[in-house]
Chain A
């Protein structure tokens, strides 16, 4: 008696214990097995477990009549790549897109559908480069971001919808997005020519700020590393690597998903930070954008004094770092959030309904050496007046640092009531120490 004799239920159980490749090979055995292996419930499970696809749609989002055909189309669309790497890239995009769908749908809407193999080939031919495999697959899934006039904030060409996001302090404002391939071609040709980069090094522009402040990310197609331009980019081409170099591994003979270039590692890290709340969406006026200031300890410090809560964190600003200036070798921007807790300002059991900032004091350290001791009035020229339960007062400033590592701590002098009508003596509100640290992943 043959295997078919075990009956359809048992055959289904047996097939359900097999991976997709084995089920497909069983389908090639005989007519009976082709029929058993075509049961769509089997392929629903495969689509769901292998690919995290729970709707029968192809990679471009078009509906497909069955899960069996769905899986086949997906495999065929990526036949030229190691399947485990394709799945890894999909997981990377899924994580980012899920976060966007839940938190920032207007940005998700700007993601362009995947590039075709032909479009990628066109870019490679035009720029005479070979994209590293993980980046190729990243672009097969999503071809960067495109902003129409609807998306553009205010009437300027700025956009706040960049996937990578950014920051703003004084007149420096950055919001980074991923370039679609047609822009990669244009920008690379312009900039490489303008900067006089040798063609030998195979740099292409992958991400950039959509604002007036320039911030450019270059992928080196030879070593797979991503670099961000510094203040010295135009003068001596100085760039900073964005991903720990020893993590990059490209090369044939490696198992599929062990291949990783900087773009993949960078986006995976960004997705993790979004998902675990290390970085969050910020709203300024009516404009929402992804803010690169950390929101969680240990990079973000918190302290509460007499009901005044102050949160503080810093971010490294690579595009303004000047390696030729000993003082400004590294530049950090820091963001301070202050608010008065709902119970109000409590000093020695006396309750006040408001308090106002008068002075700031900062102790800035490079490594453990104090390099700056600031004592002045106001913060960015303002004297925030805090009421209980109000929205946080948030501001950004910056500080140069001669070393890649340091810290800031300090305090604000507040007056209960207001500066115009003080209701008691001034008191110090702690700003707990927060780190200034050149990160291993630079965004």
Chain B
């Protein structure tokens, strides 16, 4: 398909324009649908995504598009056996950003329907939660405790089993 050499332009909520290849664009179901609807020549407006987040999403889509292309080329030979693991490592590093940006990435992945990015970014948040106490979770994510002392005590006793050492 010659479309791999074509590029499209997306516009962030801040008005900045970003170029991406068709292959990269195909990572997002939403962009793919919009292109089907409106055609390639127009600029695709993504008013729900700011530039900082958009740059990260572009980076992700490009990386995953390149990975897929390499797989298709040599039937996987170019990637090698450790290929999937390497990609996962890349994803993990990629998501090591401060919380605010991570949440925006989640929102963007959801909106743009990039399933693998939504899954990985949610996993990154889940990993931060694992094994933490409620107090620690509040601290990490800057969440306010809006329970009354009675409500908190009730919750604590209902969930006593979750605080047991095995």
Contact = CB atoms under 8 A, between A and B. Distances in A.
B132 interface: yes
A25 B119 CA distance: 22
Interface of A: 1-7, 9-10, 13-15, 17-22, 24-31, 33-34, 72, 75-76, 79, 82-84, 255-256
Nearest to B158: A72
Interface in B85-132: 99-100, 103-104, 106-107, 110, 118-119, 122-123, 125-126, 129-132
16 contacts: A2-B143, A3-B103, A3-B125, A7-B106, A9-B110, A13-B122, A17-B123, A18-B126, A24-B162, A25-B133, A26-B134, A34-B155, A72-B158, A76-B161, A83-B164, A255-B166
Contacts of A10: 106-107, 110, 118, 122
B159 to A, nearest CB: 4
Interface size class of B (residues with CB under 8 A): 35 or more
Interface in B123-164: 123, 125-126, 129-134, 137-138, 141-147, 152, 155-156, 158-164
B119 to A, nearest CB: 7
Given A25-B134, A30-B138, A30-B145, 14 more contacts: A2-B143, A3-B141, A6-B103, A6-B110, A10-B118, A17-B126, A18-B126, A20-B162, A22-B132, A25-B159, A25-B162, A29-B134, A83-B166, A84-B166
A19 B129 CA distance: 10
Contacts of A29: 134, 137-138, 143, 145
A9 B158 CA distance: 25
A30 B118 contact: no
Interface of B: 99-100, 103-104, 106-107, 110, 118-119, 122-123, 125-126, 129-134, 137-138, 141-147, 152, 155-156, 158-164, 166
Given A5-B107, A76-B160, A256-B166, A22 B125 contact: no
B103 A1 contact: yes
B103 A28 contact: no
A26 B143 CA distance: 11
Given A1-B103, A5-B103, A79-B161, A28 B156 contact: yes
Contacts of B129: 14, 18, 22, 26
Which of B119, B141, B163, B166 has its CB near the most chain A CB atoms (within 10 A)?
B166
Contacts of B131: 22
B162 A6 contact: no
A1 B103 CA distance: 8
6 smallest CB-CB distances across A and B, nearest first, come from A24-B162, A75-B161, A17-B126, A28-B134, A24-B159, A21-B162
A84 B164 CA distance: 12
Contacts of B130: 18-19, 22
Given A24-B161, A25-B137, A79-B164, A3 B143 contact: yes
B138 to A, nearest CB: 6
B160 A79 contact: yes
A15 B122 CA distance: 9
Contacts of A15: 126
A49 B142 CA distance: 31
